[in-house]
């Protein structure tokens, strides 16, 4: 049996050697050798229980000398650990010590086990001893790095991996481990360099190509990721990880058929959740969904205490989707305690804190995120969004510029900058950003919607029509997001004096998504333009029934009744619309007095919110507050924001001029003309 042990260890468990041992047992009539060979064959083919049975038999063989018995006990301890039987593994290590005395190998394996159990200090004691016994033991440094990482002692963890790589510079596993740590430390360039080295030293291993592709994919470098994934699939056409990630990348690049072809090569069982996630990406980027418009799948699972930062982040996002921001922030607090150097977690918490009204804490999180990762596009973009919402438009654009400089095709940053350019009235720059977006995301319906709106505002009616038609076609006319896209085209058509075509779009949109409030008010506006006032009032009533109610729902009803000569009912509805709109614009940044004129004057100082304040101008005018409405309009125009909403405001004021009299409305129309 000692010869058998020498052979199986020297052969490193290859199937050919296992079969040779079986054959040797058969030829020599040695049933014990044949049986051990069959168990080894099962082990090397992935049946770990066969290996354990083999080592159990060897461990009880009385003919073994101490050196061979020690090897068997060490191998069995490692296999027990692989099977999750840590108590038995530690017992075998203790037995090995009793056979030949303490060793660096046994101490390293004890350290591994204690690290995976979360007993980091105890692990360090074992791993320190392993290094003391053998200062050139590569695995001891790698394992000790993991223990330091668990204790969040990142400098020590990186130093150990550096030492391991010096000792074995051609081990791709060490390079990948160091890349992962460097990525956690926001050392992006160094992390990428380690992945490049891993691929270079093991060019035939698709696993490292997939890891590098994932790294590139996470940073929006889709074409670089695709090149690596193409190579990985060439090396192993049946590997599910390569196919899944390539399907996602292809989908984001608008290559729907190729993405679906990759998914069809993924096994039906064992990968259901992964396939579903990639199908969602395909739907987002080739079938109509925009990422920010997905609905949460359901309430977060209250699965008790979680210890995985990624799981806590997922639960936080689920809470935020349900507008349960305090609970979302609490989940992120816990995640950040586990991973305090995560710029991503800090950026998400900053977003939630800002939305929850704590701007100071949000900026503190963003400052810390950028301290950890100065190139974090998400953090830079979030700063831009906050600045834009606070009316600091130039500095917001500067932040978006910085983000795009770091990641030229970042979807959310390009969208944010393009939308802000459009709101500022710089339609050419907005269109340029949306053009860049469509260079990469060539089948993203939302990008065509954005460019179509910008083209319409710039006077390119034919281009706008092409883009909106393309968006509707790509959205496949199903679901609430598709309904919203069809509704956008309906609004465009209404602006082009095509109310019948607009009505057709709104009818189709409501068939798809009657739960979308804005479509009811848009169809109500169309009925008003067609002189079908009872139907318009009915639609506006539906819009007002949502929670929270839509101020435009009450205002639209008022217009319908005013067109029919019922001024008393109309004025009551106009007052309700104004009250609802003021309540929805309440902000901790603005103290509102009790009287309506005072409230309207106070809202002149509300940063951002240009579209809503333009609406408020109409509501105030209809409710009889002419002078405060004029002052509010002057303040919003002075902000130089929401300039893309001026055509709609001009249309609404002209309608009020016909209904209320030009002497009340013309001064505001003159302000728009002379802006």
Any idea which residue has 């106070």 for tokens? 602
507-537, pLDDT tens digit by residue? 999 999 999 999 999 999 999 999 999 999 9
Contact between 604 and 631 (Cβ < 8 Å):
yes
Q: What is the mean pLDDT of residues 259-278?
A: 88
Contact 133, 97 (CB under 8 A): no
The answer to whether residue 257 sits within a structural domain is yes
- Say whether pLDDT at 646 is over 90: no
- CA separation for the pair 666, 661 (Å, rounded): 9
375-417 pLDDT tens trace: 899 999 999 999 998 888 999 999 999 999 988 888 899 999 9
The length of the chain in residues reads 675
Q: Kindly state whether residue 70 falls inside one of the protein's structural domains.
A: no
Q: 490 with 505: CB under 8 angstroms?
A: yes
Q: 291 pLDDT exceeds 50?
A: no
| Average pLDDT score over residue span 33-44 | 62
Considering the domain boundaries, does residue 673 fall inside one?
A: yes
pLDDT at 8 over 60: no
Domain limit, last residue, from 251, 286, 321: 286
Q: Which of 236, 252, 286 is the last residue of a domain?
A: 286
Q: Is 611 strand, coil or helix?
A: helix
Whether residue 441 is contained in a domain is answered as: no
Q: What mean pLDDT, rounded, does the chain reach?
A: 88
| 293: confidence class by pLDDT, cuts 50, 70, 90 | very low
* Cα–Cα distance measured from residue 640 to residue 628, given in angstroms and rounded to the nearest whole number: 19
607 falls within a domain = yes
DSSP state of 297: S
- What percent of the chain has a predicted confidence (pLDDT) above 70? 89
Identify the residue with better confidence: 515 or 290: 515
Q: How far is CA 172 from the centre of its chain?
A: 29
CA dihedral 199, 203, 205, 207 (to 10 degrees): 20
Burial tier of 300 (Cβ tally within 10 Å: 0-12, 13-18, 19+): buried
Specify the CATH number for the domain of residue 208.
1.25.40.10
Domain that holds residue 230: 204-286
The verdict on whether omega for the bond into residue 548 sits within 30 degrees of 0, i.e. cis, is yes
Of 255 and 530, the structure prediction assigns the larger pLDDT to 530
Residue 594 has pLDDT above 70, yes or no: yes
Exposure letters 648-664 (e unless 16+ CB within 10 A, then b) = bbeebbebbbebbeeeb
User: Following DSSP, what letter does each residue of 387-448 receive, concatenated?
Assistant: HHHTT-HHHHHHHHHHHHHH-TT-HHHHHHHHHHHHHTT-HHHHHHHHHHHHHH-TT-HHHH
Contact status, residue 65 vs residue 2, Cβ threshold 8 Å:
yes
Give domain status of residue 54, yes or no. Answer: no
DSSP structure class, residue 254: T
pLDDT of residue 192 exceeding 60: yes
Which residues lie across from 587 on neighbouring strands? 590
What span, in angstroms and rounded, lies between the C-alpha atoms of 599 and 589? Answer: 13
As a whole number, mean pLDDT of residues 274-283 equals 83
Residues above pLDDT 90, as percent of the chain = 62
Mind listing the pLDDT tens digit for each residue in 447-465? 999 999 999 999 999 999 9
Q: Is residue 481 part of a domain?
A: no
pLDDT of residue 79: 86
pLDDT at 295: 43
Residue 605 or 396, more confident: 396
Q: Which of 264, 286, 308 is the last residue of a domain?
A: 286
Residue 359 lies in a domain: no
Distance of CA 321 to the CA centre of its chain: 13
* Whole-number pLDDT of residue 36: 61
Question: pLDDT higher for 17 or 654?
Answer: 654
* 350-377 pLDDT per residue, tens: 999 999 989 999 999 999 999 998 989 9
Q: What is the pLDDT of residue 54?
A: 77
Q: How far apart are the first and last CA of the chain?
A: 96
Q: How many domains does the chain have?
A: 2
């Amino acid at each position: 049996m000692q010869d058998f042990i020498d052979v199986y260890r020297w052969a490193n468990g290859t199937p050919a050697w296992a079969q040779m041992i079986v054959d040797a047992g058969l030829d020599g009539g040695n049933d014990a050798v044949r049986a051990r060979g069959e168990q080894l064959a099962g082990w090397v083919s992935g049946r770990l229980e066969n290996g354990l049975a083999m080592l159990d038999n060897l461990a009880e063989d009385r003919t073994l000398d101490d050196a061979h018995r020690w090897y068997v006990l060490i191998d069995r301890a490692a296999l027990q650990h692989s099977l999750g039987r840590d108590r038995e593994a530690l017992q075998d290590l203790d037995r090995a010590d009793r056979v030949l005395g303490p060793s660096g190998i046994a101490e390293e394996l004890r350290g591994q086990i204690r690290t995976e159990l979360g007993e980091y200090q105890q692990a360090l004691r074992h791993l320190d001893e392993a290094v003391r016994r053998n200062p050139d033991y590569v695995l001891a440094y790698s394992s000790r790095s993991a223990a330091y990482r668990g204790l969040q002692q990142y400098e020590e963890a990186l130093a150990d991996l550096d030492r391991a790589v010096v000792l074995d510079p051609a081990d791709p596993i060490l390079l990948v481990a160091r890349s992962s740590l460097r990525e956690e430390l926001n050392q992006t360039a160094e992390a990428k360099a380690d992945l490049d080295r891993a691929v270079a030293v093991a060019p035939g291993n698709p696993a490292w190509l997939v890891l590098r592709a994932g790294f590139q994919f996470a940073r929006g470098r889709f074409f670089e990721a695709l090149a690596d994934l193409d190579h990985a699939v060439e090396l192993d056409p049946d590997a599910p990880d390569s196919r899944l990630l390539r399907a996602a990348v292809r989908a984001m690049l608008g290559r729907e058929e190729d993405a679906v072809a990759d998914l069809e090569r993924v096994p039906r069982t064992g990968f259901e959740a992964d396939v579903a996630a990639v199908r969602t990406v395909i739907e987002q980027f080739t079938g109509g969904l925009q990422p920010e418009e997905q609905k949460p799948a359901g309430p977060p699972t209250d699965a008790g205490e979680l210890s995985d930062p990624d799981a806590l982040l997922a639960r936080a996002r689920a809470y935020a989707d349900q507008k349960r921001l305090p609970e979302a922030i609490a989940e992120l607090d816990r995640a950040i305690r586990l991973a305090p150097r995560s710029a991503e977690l800090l950026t998400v918490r900053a977003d939630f804190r800002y939305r929850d009204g704590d701007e100071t804490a949000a900026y503190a999180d963003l400052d810390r995120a950028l301290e950890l990762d100065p190139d974090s596009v998400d953090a830079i973009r979030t700063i831009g969004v906050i600045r834009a919402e606070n009316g600091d438009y130039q500095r917001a654009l500067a932040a978006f510029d910085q983000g795009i400089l770091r990641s030229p095709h970042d979807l959310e940053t390009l969208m944010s900058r393009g939308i802000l350019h459009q709101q500022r009235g710089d339609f050419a720059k907005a269109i340029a950003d949306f053009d860049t977006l469509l260079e990469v995301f060539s089948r993203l319906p939302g990008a065509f919607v954005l460019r179509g709106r910008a083209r319409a505002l710039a006077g390119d009616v034919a281009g706008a029509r092409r883009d909106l038609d393309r968006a509707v076609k790509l959205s496949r006319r199903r679901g609430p997001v598709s309904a919203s896209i069809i509704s956008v085209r309906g609004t465009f058509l209404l602006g082009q004096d095509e109310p019948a075509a607009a009505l057709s779009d709104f009818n189709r949109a409501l068939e798809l998504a009657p739960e979308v409030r804005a479509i009811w008010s848009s169809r109500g506006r169309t009925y008003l333009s067609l002189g079908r006032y009872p139907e318009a009032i009915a639609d506006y009533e539906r819009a007002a029934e949502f929670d929270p109610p839509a101020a435009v729902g009450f205002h639209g009803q008022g217009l319908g009744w005013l067109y029919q000569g019922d001024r008393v009912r109309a004025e009551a509805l106009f007052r309700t619309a104004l009250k609802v709109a003021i309540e929805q614009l309440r902000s901790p940044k603005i103290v509102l007095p009790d009287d309506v004129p005072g409230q309207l004057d106070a809202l002149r100082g509300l940063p951002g919110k240009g579209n809503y304040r333009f609406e408020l101008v109409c509501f105030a005018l209809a409710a009889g507050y002419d002078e405060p409405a004029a002052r509010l309009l002057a303040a919003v125009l002075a902000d130089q924001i929401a300039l893309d909403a001026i055509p709609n405001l001009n249309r609404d004021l002209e309608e009020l001029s016909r209904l209320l009299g030009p002497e009340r409305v013309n001064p505001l129309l003159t302000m728009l003309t002379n802006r």
